Amino acid sequence: MQANLQLIAGFEAKAHIDQYGLSMAMFTRIQAASGGPKWLAIAELDREIWRQWHAAGCLPMSAVGSSSGAWRMSALASGGDKAHERLQNAYIGFTANQRPSYADIEAQIRALLSKALDSNQRDKLCRGLDWHLSVVVSRARALSASGNKTRVGLGLAAAMLTNAFARRSLDWHFRRVVVSPEANSPWGGLSDMPTEQAPLTLDNLEEVLLATGSIPLLSAPVTAMAEIPAGHYFDGGISDYHFDQSVSGDGFTLFPHFLDGAYAGWFDKFFKRRKRPQNFSRTLMLVPSDSFVAALPGHKIPDRNDFARLSNDERRKRWQQAVEASTALALEWRELVEGKRTPVVKLV
């Protein structure tokens, strides 16, 4: 039994594992959720997944992410575990000021992306080699389509209100745009709400990765991206927080996650009834156990509130300790894939 890593699967994924066992070859898709620094608690697991995929010589993987999840996937898709580790170190190195300006936040994100992705790796990513990346961004509409904080704030309030009645109404306020070098990204066909596709190129890569992490009221919208219609683009987690949607295609989806549940969009986390287990029928979630989380500094995974609660030095220390602890998750995953452990899988 796994002491640190929970395996949570949909019906078809669990049936497949029960009958044929667990292998990297069963996965053709991988997804990474928004969540700020929460991913640091599974950082080594991310890298071990990439190593096992690389060692197995599997077919190309389709990867999707929003916000920091897109940064994780872009690092693995371009430079593997080394780029991912550079991303991690740059993320931990963020400096939190009392009142950072839009310009301060943008400069730190651009510096992070510069450290994680070098020019050769960016070309590989945009050509869709090995891992085919899809990045979700949210194009603001109505009141939110502005750089004015008051208008954006009112737009967010309106989006939260209408979303309480119907998730599909979110499109009145924010349009999901899937940016990918794949002409037919698995996530480009999502039908839970209107979805547009756009090409990911060398000319727009950095702006796309900046946009998917641009949190309304904390960051300025990105307004110009080559080969993508002009607009005010914000965090992809607004529409796709944890990717609680079903995608079509052969194979199964691997979902390294920091929670034992998933919410479709930002505002859906207030409505637990909106969880749809059927969307995860062909998905395997990898989630830290309660005992693993309890042993982390502060008895929790890292989160954005750490910027306000802790000094920069204390926050960096705790985040680094969380990364080091995630080695236990990576080890259990390796042993599972190599057949040294019998997978214990529970249904979503």
Q: Which residues of 40-76 are buried (b: 16+ CB within 10 A; e: fewer)?
A: bbbbbbbbbbbbbbeeeebeebbbbbbbbbbbbbbbb
**Mean pLDDT of the region 276-300:** 93
Return left, alpha or beta for 329; rule: phi > 0 is left, psi -120 to 50 is alpha, else beta: alpha
What confidence score (pLDDT) does residue 99 get?
Answer: 78
Residue 16 vs residues 1, 26, 250, 315, 343: alpha-carbon distances, Å: 18, 9, 13, 41, 12
Closest CA to 59 of 200, 250, 188: 250
- CB count in 10 Å sphere of residue 314: 13
Closest-CA residue to 84 (of 120, 42, 26):
42
Nearest to 257 by CA among 22, 87, 58, 5: 5
Map out the domains of the chain as residue ranges.
5-347
84 vs 47: CA distance, rounded Å: 7
107 contacts: CB under 8 Å, gap ≥ 6: none
Q: What percent of the chain stands above pLDDT 70? A: 98
Residue tagged 């949210």 (tokens): 138
Residue of 91, 93, 10, 26 lying closest to 337 (CA atoms): 26
Tell me the three state secondary structure of residue 50: helix
* pLDDT value for 136: 98
Give the DSSP per-residue string, 282-312.
Answer: TEEEEEE-HHHHHTSGGGS---TTHHHHS-H
d(C-alpha 263, C-alpha 128), whole Å: 28
Beta bridge partners of 327: none
pLDDT in tens, 38-89: 999 999 999 999 999 998 887 789 999 999 999 999 999 999 999 999 999 9
- Residue 267 Cα distances to 35, 100, 299, angstroms: 13, 25, 26
pLDDT tens-digit map of 186-221: 998 888 899 999 999 999 999 999 999 999 999 999
DSSP state at residue 182: S
Quote the pLDDT of residue 9: 96
Q: Over 90: is that where the pLDDT of 260 sits?
A: no
pLDDT at residue 128, as a whole number: 81
Q: Per-residue pLDDT tens for 123-182? A: 889 988 789 999 999 999 999 999 999 999 999 999 999 998 998 999 999 999 999 998
pLDDT: which is higher, 75 or 118: 75
- Quickly count: other Cβ atoms within 10 Å of residue 248's Cβ: 9
Q: Is 224 exposed, middle or buried (0-12, 13-18, 19+ CB in 10 A)?
A: exposed
